[in-house]
Structure 1
Amino acid sequence: MSFSQHATTFAGRPVVDAQAGEPLPEVDAPAAWRFSFWDFDGSTPEGLDPKFAAEFDRFLDGIDCSAVHALVLGSWGYAAFADPPIAQLCAAADRLTSLEALFLGDILSDECEASWIRQDDITPLLEAYPRLHTLRVRGSEGLRLTPVRHEHLRSLAFESGGLPAGVVRAVVDCDLPALEHLELWLGVQNYGGDADVADLEPLLGGGRFPALRRLGLRNAEIADRIAAALAGAPVVGRLEELDLSLGVLDDAGVEVLLAGQPLTHLRRLDLHHNFLSQPFASRVVEELPGVAVDVTDQQVEQEWGRYTAVAE
């Protein structure tokens, strides 16, 4: 799998593109604004791309910032070299006073592979935007987070080909009383995904995030070990949705999961794009009547092994 299409909706709103240098399109309904500036001529310096910074400032000058509730940021120059505009976003917090949802890195594979996308410490964003209820981040090169308390964050997602264990532990250690949706694309060790089940134990033990109802541990090289841990994890009992998609989960891993605690209370179980055999995929659906089970797009192991949907 590669990221081949930009987000068309975000935080329940249609995405409207703001083209650098072009007049802003007119909108007659609530929208998520998307801003992107891709530029690479071989001379782009490291750090914040000055061309992006200037164009983003022009965008902010041309829009009613107080009416921006959702913002999608695509390429910030060439994201393999340029730093994300976190400081610039934080500096604009006194203008973007209504911002509630932010997608940092809506970048396609042909613009920059996910594993190449440079990130940074995202803690200042959570501190600068106390009203934020949705944060989605793509890319993990240089990604950092310090455990923080945030009163209003309801949805947090990290898309990566390899999520560092330090980031996983920091997420689990955050104090997020309103968090309902958590999505971690754990990825593979070769691309920095060195987290293991032990890093998730405080979460799986049910002692974190009292409002959590939707949990995604996706794109995981350690999918079978995660399934085994979830078989007896207290957090599962209060979930409505469990997402283990995009990984290398096989029949044995799902069998351990099914042999554990009941899953019939779930509204949805997402196992798509794994390595289940067709007979076993059908068995999962049959054993969980009333649960919307997605077992589509199962993969077949090749001679070179199994791969998560997103790595590079």
Structure 2
Amino acid sequence: MKITITGATGHLGTQIVKALHKLVPATELNLGVHTVSKAADFAAQGMTVTAMDYHDVESLKPVLAGSDVFIYVPSKSHDSYSRVSEFENVIQAAEASQVKHMLVMGFIADQVNNPFALSAFYGYVPRRLAASSLQYTIIRNSLYADPLVPYLPELIERKNVIYPMADQALSFISQADSAAAFAKVATTPAMLVSGRIYTLTQEKSYTMPALAEVLSQVSGQPIGYQPVTLQQFATMYNQGNEGHMLASMYAGGAKGLLGEVSSDYATIMGRPAQTLLDFLQTTYQSAPKKL
């Protein structure tokens, strides 16, 4: 069996590779990466590592050739046009390489009325796959819980969660849980149903006062909820020109479009996803603290 993972040195991709390595021999794992040196540890374990470029179809074809399962994790870009262009190259290469099954990362902000800057891409993915000749399965993630850990010291200082979410809720999943689900689906033929869409969330979603309560419990500090405006949020977090993209995501959240809850994780793994409280308590307590 040959399982190909692209984006294999990114945050989620790395964890998917590690989760897969627990289930299959290293020799069955084929990694497509932009910078080969970043995957040196994986190569040392016996995995195949090949340089590729999402924007160069010809570089993708030899990486995908002979793949029984191809796990596609999109690159990090801030607009739908860039991601759709990338995805078109990936589809073209996957079809030319006769990939047997494609496992694609989606996101819950894919609704037709969602103002999120990347919603058009995530809405395009299932429609484009349906029009292709490929066998495919999609795994939609909810928001990653992981960024809350490095963000928590700032929230402690502010004494408030500031997401412009009005009275709506957010759903979360940890990257480790997401990776475990990707690995399980990729290695379980019965779960690789073409056209099947799984959605990964914890068992409950959180309004902002409820999220603040969890963060207060984890940190031992009082944290409330005092939202800023979307424009203020975009200005405050515009590092790397991500401000508009991030604010647009919470604009969708304020419409109630990021609070979906699904039992699919338990269907895949046979157990519920780690709760937000448990994840944050475990991860925040073990994270290095600034002196």
Bin of the TM-score, shorter chain as denominator length: 0.3 to 0.5
Higher relative contact order (CA 8 A, sep 6+): 2
The structure with the greater share of residues assigned to helix is 2
